Amino acid sequence: MTPTLVAFDLDDTIYKERDFVISGYRAVAREIASIDSAFNYDEMVHVMANAPLNPFDSLEEYLLNRSIQQSITVDYDIPHMVATYRNHYPDIKADDALDVIQNLKDEGYRIGLITDGRAITQTNKLKTLGLDRVITPDNISISELVGGEKYTPVAFEHMMKQNADISRFVYVGDNPMKDFLWPNRLGWVTIQLIDDGRNVHSQQVSLPSDDYRPQYRIKSLDQLSALLHSL
């Protein structure tokens, strides 16, 4: 087998990003409710989940109105909400992704991960999902740490440099606006996991050029091994 590294995107590829969003809302609501039970946990989650624009603006308005109604005060501003959201350990699941990754490792593939986001947020996701136990730290690339998001070649070039003995690189992602442009240009194999209707970012978008398109598409990660063997 050609020495191959298979790198995965994280959000909406390994797990569903909407689950992280709701988990974050729950973490914020839980913390505020623990300060004063007059602020109803379920109501706060509902307010954020159904906010027309910024969920924390809507929650701040809810807190202000409830404070006036109940003649109470709460010292919990938007920066505090955002910090709680970003830094919490999320309630998310990888479904079958861990089994797929372990099977690929057993077949002789090297595994990597390239994700955009803040170091603390993405690291907490990795730990919660158990990915830190199946992917070596050197092959985990988080944009804040490597100094470039996937709109740039930085993370992909970094992965290639870290694995100079590998002759074929594969990237599995979901978002055509940023996941496939640079790996395509760098000679990687690119594979898109098709949206099952629950993704945060739509895949039905107008792309600037064909460089943004994945070379292959799969409906589930279970199909990945067979596709790799066919290449």
| Chain length of the chain | 231
pLDDT exceeds 90 at position 175? yes
Q: Which of 167, 230, 221 is nearest to 194 (CA)?
A: 221
Q: Which CATH code of 3.40.50.1000, 3.10.310.30, 3.40.50.720, 3.10.400.10 fits the domain covering 4-16+92-230?
A: 3.40.50.1000
Q: Output the pLDDT for position 214.
A: 96
Q: Output the pLDDT for position 45.
A: 98
Q: Output the pLDDT for position 73.
A: 77
Q: Whole-structure pTM over 0.75, yes or no?
A: yes
* Per-residue confidence band for 1, with pLDDT thresholds at 50, 70 and 90: confident
* Per-residue confidence band for 207, with pLDDT thresholds at 50, 70 and 90: confident
Q: What is the DSSP string of the chain?
A: ---EEEEE--BTTTB-HHHHHHHHHHHHHHHHHHH-TTS-HHHHHHHHHT-SS-HHHHHHHHHHHHHHHHT------HHHHHHHHHHS------TTHHHHHHHHHHTT-EEEEEE-S-HHHHHHHHHHHTGGGTS-GGGEEEHHHHT--TTSSHHHHHHHHHTTT-SEEEEEES-TTTSSHHHHHTT-EEEEEPP-S--SS-S----SSGGGS-SEEESSGGGHHHHHHH-
For 192-216, what is the mean pLDDT? Answer: 86
pLDDT exceeds 80 at position 203? no
For 134-144, what is the mean pLDDT? Answer: 96
The residue with greater pLDDT, 35 or 83, is 83
- The residue with tokens 């109604």 is 69
Q: What is the residue extent of each domain of the chain?
A: 4-16+92-230, 19-87
Q: Output the pLDDT for position 68.
A: 83
